[in-house]
Amino acid sequence: MNVLKPAQAGTLESNDIMITVAPGSKGSGVVIELESNVLTQYGQAIKQAIAAVAARQNVTDVYIKAVDRGALDCTIQARTLTALSRAGIILQKEMI
């Protein structure tokens, strides 16, 4: 399923993450751009959490920008789901 329109969830407050999703180029897959003050320690784990949510929702060809301020994994997943929902993706029931 593809993202229908740009959308955003989250804030730039401490212990939160801002997720912005936008339609990607056809065939581009899931592209994740990450900014974080803990990029070297947790950057890969943050990207994996975002990619896992997108994969569980069968999202393809999407650009995701994440600006992290120390969010926990559950927050990262929730913000990603919210952004995808606001972009027009119909969420799988097991994730709601």
Here the CATH number for the domain that contains residue 52 is: 3.30.230.10
User: Within a domain: residue 86?
Assistant: yes
User: Within a domain: residue 71?
Assistant: yes
pLDDT at 1 (0 to 100): 64
User: Within a domain: residue 28?
Assistant: yes
pLDDT at 95 (0 to 100): 60
pLDDT at 13 (0 to 100): 96
pLDDT at 4 (0 to 100): 84
- The string of DSSP codes covering 12-64 is SSTT-EEEEEEEPPTT--EEEEEEETTHHHHHHHHHHHHHHHHHHTT-BSEEE
- pLDDT beyond 60 at 96: no
User: Within a domain: residue 24?
Assistant: yes
- pLDDT beyond 70 at 19: yes
Cα 33 to its chain centre, rounded Å, is 10
Give the number of domains in the chain.
1
Per-residue pLDDT of 28-85, as tens digits, reads 999 999 999 999 999 999 999 999 999 999 999 999 999 999 999 999 999 999 999 9
Domain that holds residue 17: 7-90
User: Within a domain: residue 79?
Assistant: yes
User: Within a domain: residue 96?
Assistant: no
User: Within a domain: residue 23?
Assistant: yes
